[in-house]
Amino acid sequence: MAGIVEQWSAAENGNANMTAKGSSRELRHGGRTAHNMSSSSLRKKSDIRVIQKVPYKGLKDFLSNLQEVILGTKLAILFPAIPAAIIGTYCGFSQPWIFGLSMLGLTPLAERVSFLTEQLAFYTGPTLGGLLNATCGNATELIIAILALTNNKVAVVKYSLLGSILSNLLLVLGTSLFCGGIANLRREQRFDRKQADVNFFLLLMGLLCHLLPMLFGYVANGETPAGLIADMSLNLSRASSIVMLIAYIAYLVFQLWTHRQLFDAQDEDDQYDDNVAEEETAVISFWSGFAWLVGMTLVIALLSEYVVATIENASESWGLSVSFISIILLPIVGNAAEHAGAIIFAFKNKLDISLGVALGSATQIGLFVVPLTVIVAWILGINMDLNFSLLETGSLALSIIITAFTLQDGTSHYMKGLVLLLCYIIIAICFFVDKLPQKQPNAIHLGHQLMNNVAAANGEGVFSS
């Protein structure tokens, strides 16, 4: 039996190496996505000289995979937070502690998912690999949103997804432009506007889908029942979500097939001697990568369940509103690895990669994750619409507009990044001082209806059309 296992393992590794070598050139010249190269900046080369001395083939392969997957990242120091969160759940730790440990544990897992999708891309080819990366790129946000939906926490879903978009547009992009500008004071930083234009077109379309359901509450007169307004908003949101998903599919076709050259990250050498481009072959086999990807997705789901279950207790214990934790803290911690990679490449004057990470992730959240959660809620029988209420939708609209104006000329300096960062700080302060109870999905409609009813007693409606 041992001989059979060794022969199968050798055959697997042999086929894997041949496939990886055959597709590495295609991946190399076909281009790597900004997300791949951003995550690569946080990886470190593994020293497997000690592992090679292990006499047993199966054990050596397992230890080699463990070395590459678990210890092959600079964030490996955060992995102990995962068993700590699990043990704390069964040992009676306070829920704020479980919430914090779970958030720390999600940080390296998100980076490792990106690593594993890139490894699988060596065997599937650049197109299918890019599609896999586009699907799993924001797996953490999607899993948290779906688990929150199953617990009927619609407000948490909306807050967390909004926060992911805001953090990418203002925090990640602002920090990248600021740090890149400081590090390259004597060099003009330029980037290709074509990719940014495509992302902003899609983000503005998504913003329209958020604005229209909200505006129903303003155009209704005093005689319009609140339930009718809520139904109109819900039906429009579901129809708009289907349109948004169609737009995202068209975006994938545009990005991965017809206009791939606009999104391929360039990996030419520079003065910083960036060694990301040197990684041309897979370091683990296809089935090993697939098994690790499934396992880490299950762990992400477990930690996300802890986050959803303990967020209210953490809010009460820390004296922070649920909106602040969901909009500000969750995106910062959950996407820390990807954000750090974008900033590192901005330091190296590779703004196209930084913009690809920030804008690409914001577009994926806005055009894929948000409408998908609305559809999933529809299937589950939960009424979730695209009305994120006035304050949240206004913050989103202004963030998109400010960022679009910042990138309109194709050049960058540290002042642009500083303005984006300051805008993010203002929004963070806004939700920090917001101590209002969690808003229900259609609360704004009820509020406007109540004001109309009060004003109707005096003979006219405030928000009448």
User: Which of 36-50, 343-357, 382-396 comes out lowest in average pLDDT?
Assistant: 36-50
Q: What is the pLDDT of residue 14?
A: 47
Between 1-5, 93-97, 194-198, 306-310, the lowest mean confidence (pLDDT) is in 1-5
Look at the block and give the residue holding tokens 């209806």. Answer: 449
What residues contact 457, with CB distance under 8 A and at least 6 apart? none
Residue 71, pLDDT above cutoff 90: no
For the segment 11-22, what is each residue's pLDDT rounded down to a tens digit? 444 444 444 444
Proportion of the chain above pLDDT 90, given as a percent = 37
Is 1.20.1420.30 the CATH number for 56-264+290-435?
Answer: yes
The answer on pLDDT for 33 being more than 70 is no
Could you tell me the pLDDT band of residue 175, with boundaries at 50, 70 and 90?
very high
pLDDT of residue 44: 62
In the numeric block, which tokens belong to residue 431?
A: 């939700």
Q: How many CB atoms lie within 10 A of CB 202?
A: 22
- Is residue 381 pLDDT above 50, yes or no? yes
Percent pLDDT > 70 in the chain is 74
Contacts of residue 465, defined as CB under 8 A and 6 or more positions apart, other chains included, come to 219, 220, 221
Contact 140, 336 (CB under 8 A): no
When pLDDT is cut at 50, 70 and 90, the band that residue 256 belongs to is confident
Question: For residue 114, what pLDDT band results from cuts at 50, 70 and 90?
Answer: confident
Nearest CA-CA partner of 375 in 273, 240, 176: 240
- What pLDDT, on a 0 to 100 scale, did the predictor assign at position 12? 44
Confidence category of residue 8, pLDDT binned at 50, 70, 90: very low
* Higher pLDDT among residues 272 and 118, named by residue: 118
189 bridge partner residues: 412
How confident is the model over 192-240, as pLDDT tens digits?
Answer: 888 888 999 999 999 999 999 999 888 877 777 878 888 999 999 999 9
Model confidence pLDDT, tens digit, residues 125-166: 666 766 677 677 778 888 889 999 998 899 999 999 999 999
pLDDT at 382 over 80: yes
Q: Which amino acid is at 150?
A: T
User: When comparing pLDDT for 342 and 171, which is higher?
Assistant: 171
Query: Exposure pattern of 284-298 as b/e (b: 16+ CB <10 Å)?
Result: bbbebbeebbeebbe
- 335 vs 250 pLDDT, higher one: 250
HEC profile of the chain: CHHHHHHHHHHHHHHHHHHHHHHHHHHHHHCECHHHHHHHCCECCCCCCCHHHCCCHHHHHHHHHHHHHCCCECCHHHCCHHHHHHHHHHCCCCHHHHHHHHHHHHHHHHHHHHHHHHHHHHHHCHHHHHHHHHHHCCHHHHHHHHHHHHCCCHHHHHHHHHHHHHHHHHHHHHHHHHHHHHHCCCCCEECCHHHHHHHHHHHHHHHHHHHHHHHHHHHCCCCCCHHHHHHHHHHHHHHHHHHHHHHHHHHHHHHHHHCHHHCCECCCCCCCCCCHHHCCCCCCCHHHHHHHHHHHHHHHHHHHHHHHHHHHHHHHHHCCCHHHHHHHHHHHHHCHHHHHHHHHHHHCCCHHHHHHHHHHHHHHHHHHHHHHHHHHHHHHCCCCCCCCHHHHHHHHHHHHHHHHHHCCCCEECHHHHHHHHHHHHHHHHHHHHCCCCCCCCCHHHHHHHHHHHHHHCCCCCCCCC
Out of 71-85, 211-225, 276-290, 368-382, give the one with best mean pLDDT: 368-382
Question: Exposed, middle or buried: residue 446 (CB in 10 Å: 0-12, 13-18, 19+)?
Answer: middle
297 has a pLDDT exceeding 80: yes
First to last CA, the chain: 79
Least confident interval from 56-70, 155-169, 170-184, 393-407 = 56-70
**Domain map (residue ranges) of the chain:** 56-264+290-435
Q: Which of 46-50, 55-59, 147-151, 210-214 has the lowest mean pLDDT?
A: 46-50
264 versus 349: the higher-pLDDT residue is 349
